[in-house]
Structure 1
Amino acid sequence: MKFHITTFGCQMNVHDSQWLTRALESRGWQEAGEDEALVYIFNTCSVRDKPEQKVYSEIGRIAAHARRDPRVFVAVGGCVAQQIGRGFFERFPFVRLVFGSDGIAGAPNALERIVAGSDERAALLDFMPAYEEREAALEQSAGSAAGSGRQAFVTIMQGCDNFCAYCIVPYTRGRQKSRHPDAVVEECRALVDSGVREITLLGQNVNSFGMDKGGAGVSFGGLLRQVAAIKGLDRLRFTTSHPKDIAPEVIAAFGEFETLCPSLHLPLQSGSDAMLKAMRRRYTLGHYMGIVEALKQARPDIVLTTDLIVGFPGETEADFQATLDALAAVGYDSSFSFKYSDRPGVAAVNMEPKVDPQVAAERLMRLQTLQNSITRKCLKMLVGTETDVFVEGLSRIQGGDAPSWKGRDPAGRVVNVRMEYGGCEDAGDLVGMMVPVRITEAKKYTLMGEGTGTPW
């Protein structure tokens, strides 16, 4: 059976889709392009309004195909599936399966039943009381690890207990459920043994790992140390962090383990204490800045990125200015910034006064202009420095006799590298390898460099 998966939203959704692809392929299914598929799977996001509307539009495009061929059907997973549930069955008759983030473990078997002739319209929407392990035998093999650039993502937890006023995640992904630390370490070790060189640990709030029973008494700092110590692992990252839960032992780990990359995504959301309180973030700007200072002391070369919301209900010009001031004070390499939008069921829906959309749009433009300026300065400071770049593939920027490759430095910045090694037709020669590089130029969002040594 030919299938096609379309993924919206966060890195956890990307990882879920990758797992689902492997699970279906192990059953003999074949991944195909949109024009050839018979089963269309949409892994969805409802953090903001536009991705949700995009899902409806994308499913609607399948309608004509489904009318022409009765074998064609759609499965909807992820956060929008959890939110809308069986409503998809009423809106789209060719939707045969909906599954939430906890239900994905049962999705492959449900899809097989439908293809085998079952008339069921299955809804896998129950939240599990504990993290449900997936088919371990289907995790990345040595061949798939090499084929994906020797990078892997490992989920360590599911759900969130924070209930920030603007966030729908606790309602669509459920309460926090930590994975057993032994299972996490075992998966990481198996990935490294198969050839993976870089691992990213994933969770809605990795810093709260172990605060529920699933963590078996192991904190995130403890788990981080176990994974960082795995022999053969070159790079380790994690996302996403909540500032209120980051522990001193996690901050200290940045200075203790060379394996732990000097980069951290630390969402601020607002620089105003009044807004942080209204958002139910449970930290102050002063507390956040203390974390930033501690991180820079532990790892002077650490690179910070963040999330920011403008136009939250009640935000004044002074509140917004406080966000601009914090952005400049920290000097984030980059940030993800958005206008606030109501999401169904969250506390902020009922908060007043709402910020005029035009005012919010103007503030967002000002914030992003400032961020672009800071980003350019951060990148320009790197010109002339040397680093190791983990090659992910050929660069879109080509020219001259030598091919250019795209990779990332330890902080996660994109670097396009001109390298006198191999040819464009031999992309696999460098993918998954570390290349010593001298940075030669700073672009708007990326860096240019030249290889200076032998790839390893």
Structure 2
Amino acid sequence: MNAPTDLKSPLKPEVISLGCRLNIAESERMTAMLADAGDVVVVNSCAVTSEAVRQTRQAIRKARRARPDARLIVTGCAADIEREQLADMPEVDGLIANASKLDPRVWNVPLPEAPPPPTRTRAFIAVQNGCDHACTFCVIPQGRGKSRSQTIPQVLREVEHHLDLGAKEVVLTGVDVTSWGHDLPNTPPLGALVAAVLDTFPDLQRLRMSSLDGIEIDDGLFDLFASEQRLMPHLHLSLQHGHDLILKRMKRRHSRADAVELVSRLKARRPEIAIGADLIAGFPTEAGEHHAANLSIIEELDIVHGHIFPYSPRPGTPAARMPQVDRALVKSRAAELRGAVAAQREAWLQRLVGETLPVLAERDGTGYAPNYARIRLPEGTSAGRITTITTQSLEEGLLT
């Protein structure tokens, strides 16, 4: 007897990741952990801004439309911080606390024997989670808890696993990466971890760092950024603002001068290093002169990878109780900051035309140079391969 033709293959679990690189790393682990969990969709949410929460709700609705019969579970930061609001959504079948999402017992599945294979061409490794700081605008400690570090042997085992799977680039990520080691015996600095990875794996071609708090970059890490070619020349700073008064009201621990000095020292040692930064527009009490300082630091630091966040009040944070800037003005200032970063980036990319660069190919026909410049690759270039490209032109923001 012929088998019925209308039987469908069992639907595989799907993990939808929003937000930071740490969420990406955790989503890859959940994907492996839930491989045999059946028809389930997990939204690994973000709550860093009100826009991130809006996108989380949008992703939930979209996932329900695409998989109407699936069990839809929400985890991540928004599952803690916006728990009641998300639980009230008719699309949601359940929520799992952010701190528990990598615990197989919560999902009633067996523990994976090894870290999962990467779903991207780069391996994202979470070396740290949580945050001990109290920035007045930030809600993330509510969703991530206190800082916890992976030990050096734990990180090395995971790096080795990804290299065995063929990874060409490893990205070390976390919530507050430069606080790595503060909770470990003898409080090793982050530079010690980076040195251990590079020393242990001489065949590792590219090591990249995710966002760093510049004031906590130790001397060892600074020297590696300045001289180690396998540590990518791409420094993304958790800068947040360019005016000292606003930085103080944010309860940040650095000044504008600290950031300028750090970048100046690094560029003196390694001129090709590309600077990225997070900047917030329209923080409470921000006046015109403060915004002007935010704009000017983009050119002073030559910020070419900018993440611009219009300020939005987050529940339970001190900044939400401060005098707020008009929403229309917040949006217009964010647009000005984005325009300034776009101009810096355009000029930087133009300077790279004619350069010969090693490019790690992604799956979409583009790839990234060591300085994180995005480059369109020849058709047929295999994803995950490092290929040498001499750039010819700049078209629509992409070197070709």
Partner of 2:48: 47
1:155 aligns with 2:126: yes
CA contact (8 A) 1:251 1:294 kept: no
Partner of 2:188: 218
| CA gap 1:326/1:87 in 2 versus in 1, 3 angstroms | closer
| CA gap 1:286/1:437 in 2 versus in 1, 3 angstroms | same
Shift of the alpha carbon at 1:345? 0.9
Partner of 1:365: 335
CA contact (8 A) 1:228 1:257 kept: no
Give the one of 90, 106, 113 matched to 1:110: 106
1:250 aligns with 2:221: yes
Partner of 2:254: 283
Any unmatched runs of 5+ in structure 1?
31-37, 114-133, 396-405, 449-456
Give the one of 347, 355, 358 matched to 1:388: 358
CA contact (8 A) 2:236 2:305 kept: no
Mapping for residues 26-37 of structure 1, pairs under 5 Å = 28-29=36-37
Distance 2:23 2:367 in 1: 22
Shift of the alpha carbon at 1:59? 3.4
Q: Which amino acid aligns with 2:140?
A: V
CA contact (8 A) 2:128 2:148 kept: yes
1:138 aligns with 2:114: yes
Q: Deviations over 1:401-423 (max 9, x none)?
A: xxxxx21111111111236xxxx
| CA gap 1:193/1:231 in 2 versus in 1, 3 angstroms | farther
Partner of 1:375: 345
Q: Which amino acid aligns with 1:54?
A: Q
Paired residue secondary structure (1:102): helix
| CA gap 1:248/1:433 in 2 versus in 1, 3 angstroms | same
Shift of the alpha carbon at 1:298? 2.9
TM-score (norm 1): 0.80
Mapping for residues 67-216 of structure 1, pairs under 5 Å = 72-85=70-83, 88-89=86-87, 91-92=88-89, 95-106=92-103, 108-112=104-108, 135=111, 137-140=113-116, 144=117, 148-149=120-121, 151-213=122-184
Shift of the alpha carbon at 1:295? 1.5
Mapping for residues 414-433 of structure 1, pairs under 5 Å = 414-418=374-378, 424=380, 430-433=382-385
Q: Which amino acid aligns with 1:418?
A: P
CA contact (8 A) 2:362 2:383 kept: yes
Distance 1:254 1:165 in 2: 30
| CA gap 1:442/1:110 in 2 versus in 1, 3 angstroms | same
Q: Which amino acid aligns with 1:51?
A: A
Partner of 1:351: 322
Q: Deviations over 1:278-328 (max 9, x none)?
A: 011111111111111121123221000111111101111001111111111
CA contact (8 A) 1:376 1:444 kept: no
Distance 1:362 1:217 in 2: 43
Paired residue secondary structure (2:79): helix
Shift of the alpha carbon at 1:88? 4.4
CA contact (8 A) 2:123 2:171 kept: yes
Q: Deviations over 1:382-434 (max 9, x none)?
A: 11111111112352xxxxxxxxxx21111111111236xxxx4xx6xx22221
Alignment RMSD (CA, Å):
2.3
Paired residue secondary structure (2:163): helix
CA contact (8 A) 1:388 1:437 kept: yes
CA contact (8 A) 1:156 1:202 kept: yes
Partner of 1:437: 389
Distance 1:61 1:175 in 2: 33
Paired residue secondary structure (1:334): strand
| CA gap 1:63/1:19 in 2 versus in 1, 3 angstroms | closer
CA contact (8 A) 2:99 2:144 kept: yes
Mapping for residues 436-455 of structure 1, pairs under 5 Å = 436-448=388-400
TM-score (norm 2): 0.90
Shift of the alpha carbon at 1:60? 4.5
Give the one of 189, 208, 212 matched to 1:241: 212
Any unmatched runs of 5+ in structure 2?
1-9
Partner of 2:3: none
Partner of 1:301: 272
Q: Deviations over 1:76-128 (max 9, x none)?
A: 10001111346644x1466443223321122x443347xxxxxxxxxxxxxxx
CA contact (8 A) 1:23 1:138 kept: no
How many pairs are equivalent?
389
Q: Deviations over 1:117-160 (max 9, x none)?
A: xxxxxxxxxxxxxxxxx9562313xxx45x743x2111101001
